[in-house]
Structure formats: structure tokens, C-alpha cells
Chains A and B, each alone.
Chain A
Amino acid sequence: MVEKLTAIAMPRAIWSGALSFGLVNIPVKLVSATSKKRVSFNQLHEPDHARIRYDKVCSADGESVPKEEIVKGYKVGKGEYVVVTDEELEAIEPEASRNIEVQEFVELADVDPLHFDSSYYLVPGEAAIKPYTLLRRAMEEAGRVGIARLVMRSREHLVAVRPHGDALVLHTMHYADEVRTPAVALEDVDLAPVELGDKEVATAVQLIDALSAPFEPADYEDEYRTRVLELVRAKAEGETVEVRAEKTKPAERTEDLLEALQASLSSVKAGGNGAKT
């Protein structure tokens, strides 16, 4: 179980089609370039460790609602919704396209990292290795990245294609109206009136120079995740928390308070039951 948490998943193609610019057409597949490694837990009911499941209920009467009775509502005002059907949404979906059509090539430095969302590798089809390599090489020499549109899972994405080592990488990008401006995010502070002396700036730059180093991502690790995994591993080896159907152990069924406390507190002391804060 613990092994599964640390293993790196083999990437699977999530889209296939062609990358095209001008008259060139390169069959490609998309695979994720990153994988989230957050440790996730299941929710259990403390008294019996049964799995917690979600129940969708109607807020008006508290009753469970079957899937077929759930529709989409877009909030237009307080307590006011416009109901939209799946058919209506399907009718206006972007045309399914198997093409990543490069519209223009721009300077990488002109694309602010704020715009980047998810990253994918473009994997060329076997017959396409040559044009793929040619495009990659040309972009590298020109120092440019391609801006294109990609339709994936019935959503149209703005994407950037750029060389990375021997491969091409594709980043989905946030649309301009999805990126907040500093004026909005920092509206509570006024940065304008601050005056800086030349000497102050020079000293700060010196400090930065002193701490400068090439970026080595491998030097950093998610220490919290490591600790969580160590905790889970230790518990899995020593004391497995199993899903129990039985509600209470017979030994705990005493009505003698002192006896019950002696049992429960010594088990906590030994690092057992209930030892979480």
C-alpha cells in the first residue's frame, strides 16, 4: 500500500492528434509532464472505521437526491438560477478538433509564467520523428515558442509549445481574463509612494548575488509529504488500522469506569487507539 504512494505512474496519452504549422503536419500524443504527489487519505468514521461516503441531499427537505434529478444551475442573483441542460451545453461545445494549429511564434520571455497552467510532453508518432525534431531544433535556434489552440475534453485551451531537451513541451495557459492583475490582488496596499535609496538597492542586490546559485529542483523535497509517508509506513508495519464492522470490542464493554480508563489510557500510552490530535 505504501509502495503505491511513492511509485511514479507511467504516463498515459490523454489526447492524440496532430501539431501543425504552415504546411507541416506532425502526428503527436499528449502525456502529462508532471504528477501531483500529494498524499491523500480516505475518510473513516472514527467509532467503527467504516468508509465515509457522500450523500447528495436536497437543501429544502434534507432527502437524498438521485443522479437523474440533478440539473445544472447558473447563479444570476440571490436565490435566482438559470437552469442549463446538458443538451444545450453540448450544442455550443467547441468543435472537436484533432489539430494543434500553431498561430504564431513569440519570444519565451514575453510569456509570463503566471499564464502557465498544466504541462504535457508532445510524443511524436513513429513516422513523424524527423519533422518533430526539425521543428524542435528550429524553435530552439529561433528562441521562440509556438502559441496555439487545443481542444481537449470539450474545452478549448490556449497553449504554448516550446522545446525542452530533445522533446517538445506543451503548456496549457490561462486566458488573459483568468489572470489577476497586481492592482486587484494588492489593492489594500499602496506600493507607489515607497522611495528607495541607491545604496539600499545596491546592498540588497549584493545580498542576492551572495545567495545566487544555479536552480537545482532536485535539491528541494516536500518534507511534509516525506514525514506523512514515514508515519503511514510505521503505522502500516506496527499497527494497522483496519476497517472493522464490529462496533466495540467486547473487552471495552465494561460499565466500570476505573477499569475502562485503566485499559484505554494504557493503550494510548503505548501509542495505540485514539492517539491522534
Chain B
Amino acid sequence: MRIGERTLSVSNLDKVLFPKAGWTKAHLLDHAVRIAPVMLPHLEGRAVAFVRFPDGVDRPGFHQKEVPRSAPAWLATTEHWSRSGKGAHRSPVLDEPAALVWAANLAAIEIHPVLARETAPDNPTHAVFDLDPGPGTGILTCAGIALELRAALEGIGLASVVKTSGGKGLHVHVPLAPVHSFAVVRAFARTVSEVLARRAPERLTTTMAKPAREGRVFLDWQQNLRSKTTVAPYSLRARDPPTVATPLAWGELEQALSVGDEALLTFGPDEVVARLEEHGDLLAPLLASRQRLVFGRAPV
């Protein structure tokens, strides 16, 4: 198969990866090609981890952070520090359409990049808030919290963007100039989360323990670490039928809340491609932000 200048071999194209949707690996490759123009800028220069499901999403999958031995020679790679801090490993960097297709051919259904680019590995390009609905709540509860979070951030002069996790949750991202350390960004995310949780303890918690999450949204600030990855915008999720981590306009959250319809916040691959015509890349603000975390008397 030829993609631009690259030639790569693909295999088992008729293998069914999403049995309910009847989606095969050929569908996955086709989706990768169609989504590449908007997805690639978000992956440029970043180590990525894969969640691979070679036997389909109804069979166990596995995480992979290191470049597989079978990777083509032209694939870009970067050094990335492991979570334990015990050492670096080489991770793939997906910076061209052929690389995205290569990943699809590995049945790498989910693609999770790190928060910093290799040009400034200690300085994240955004902060991430993961809103995860606890038992008895759902994506609409998350939508309400996300809007409050957005208003709070606006109150301190920061713009934010939002995407679905592709599951029941939402991710709110605060675009940043890559000038702050992970420690600063993490403290920022933690403080914002804890203040919001103090304002609305009945609907929101920052505690990971299961009982605290009953009837509440878990606002997780702990993903703001150099070693952590978060699902990429436009990445598929391993659900059947497939869903996509979909960038949203803030107005869409308000509308879904006002009509009370969860389905308005879940998108499949074809819907996401169709949305590009209307919305373009709603997460474009993440690509080159100049926002800084400077608050009054204590510039950081």
C-alpha cells in the first residue's frame, strides 16, 4: 500500500475488529486516512502509547508504549520517560498520514499522546481535567460540571476547550504556551479542581476512591504528569459500535443539557468525519497557545 512517499505492508484487512458494527481493519485504515488532516497536528512531536486489539475489541487488548520491533525504518520515534522514572524507552511519533495508517494496521485502536512535545519535553502544551461520571451520574452531569469549570477558568482569564472521552466522560483542556513545568501545571490543575469540589461537594469529588464517587463526577487532575498519556482528539475508543474522542463546541454542551439528551454527546467515526465540514478542528486552540499561568501578584 502506498501513502504519499511511503510504502507499507498491511495485513488481514477483512479481519472484523468491531463485531457489532461489522467494522473490519479496512474500516480502521480508511478512518485513519480520513481523520489524518485534523488528528496529526495534535500528535506531532509527541510520544504516543497504543491500546491494541489485534483480535477485536471484544477480546482482551494490550497497552504498548514502546516502538514495536516490526516498525518501518521511516517511522519517527522519540525518547520517553517511563512512569516509574526508571528509564527511558523509545516511543513512536505519528507525524504523517502513513504513520497513522501503520498504527491502524497494528489494530492500535486507541492512541494516547503525552502532554508535552519532544522539543520541550518538560513543558506541557496544555493542562487536562478528566471528568469521569460516578455511579448514578452520566455524561450530562459531566457537561454541567465542564461548563462550571469553563466559567471558573474564564474568571481567571483562561480559555479552555472540551472533547468527549469517547466513553461517558469529558476532557477539558487548557491550552498553554510550553513554558511551565509539569509541577506548576499539576499544581494549577489540582488547585482549580479542589476549589471547584469545595464549591459543589454534593456533585463533585477529587477523590479517586469509589465510594466518594457515588452520585458525583470525579474531577481528575492527576493526569498532568510527564509520564501520563491522555486519549488523543479524534482517536477511536475500544467500544462496539466504535466511538471517537470528539472535540465539542461549548454550545453543544449547553444544548445537550437543555434538552436532556445524552446521545447528543456521543459520536461515531462517520459522524466525526462529517462534523469536520461544519466545525473544522474545534481543538485548534491547543496547537499553538500563548496562554500562561500568571495570576495577579504571584507570576509563575
Contacts and interface: CB of A to CB of B under 8 A. Distances in A.
B295 interface: yes
A258 B195 CA distance: 10
Interface string A264-276: 1111110001111
A257 B195 contact: yes
Interface in B172-188: 181-184, 186-188
Contacts of B192: 257, 261
**Which of the listed residues B122, B155, B184, B293 has the most CB atoms from chain A within 10 Å of its own CB?**
B184
A185 to B, nearest CB: 13
Given A47-B207, A257-B192, A262 B183 contact: no
A262 to B, nearest CB: 4
A3 to B, nearest CB: 23
Interface stretch (A51-59, A122-130, A149-157, A247-255): A247-255
A269 B295 contact: no
B198 A258 contact: no
The winner among B192, B295, B300 for most chain A CB atoms within 10 A is B295
A275 B198 contact: no
A35 interface: no
Contact of A260 (B182, B195, B300): B195
Nearest to A264: B191
B225 interface: yes
Given A255-B199, A262-B295, A277 B226 contact: yes
A273 to B, nearest CB: 7
Contacts, number: 77
Contacts of B226: 277
Contacts of A274: 183, 186-187, 190
Contact of B156 (A188, A252, A257, A268): A257
B69 interface: yes
A48 to B, nearest CB: 10
B225 A257 contact: no
Nearest to B196: A257
B220 interface: no
Which of A46, A263, A268 has the most CB atoms of chain B within a 10 A radius of its CB? A268
A8 B298 CA distance: 46
Given A277-B181, A277-B186, A277-B226, A262 B296 contact: yes
B184 A265 contact: yes
Interface string B195-208: 10011000000110
Contacts of B187: 264-265, 267-268, 273-275
Contacts of B59: none
Interface in A147-176: none
B132 interface: no
Contact of A258 (B69, B222, B295): B295
A248, A254, A256, A257 pick with most chain B CB within 10 angstroms: A257
Nearest to A266: B298
Contact of A277 (B182, B194, B206, B297): B182
Nearest to B116: A277
Nearest to B186: A274
A258 B293 CA distance: 11
Given A264-B191, A266-B300, A275-B183, 19 more contacts: A46-B222, A47-B207, A253-B198, A255-B199, A256-B195, A257-B156, A258-B156, A261-B156, A261-B192, A262-B298, A263-B191, A265-B188, A266-B298, A268-B181, A269-B300, A273-B187, A276-B186, A277-B122, A277-B182
Interface of B: 69, 122, 152, 155-156, 181-184, 186-188, 190-192, 194-195, 198-199, 206-207, 222, 225-227, 293, 295-298, 300
Interface of A: 46-47, 188, 248, 252-258, 260-269, 273-277
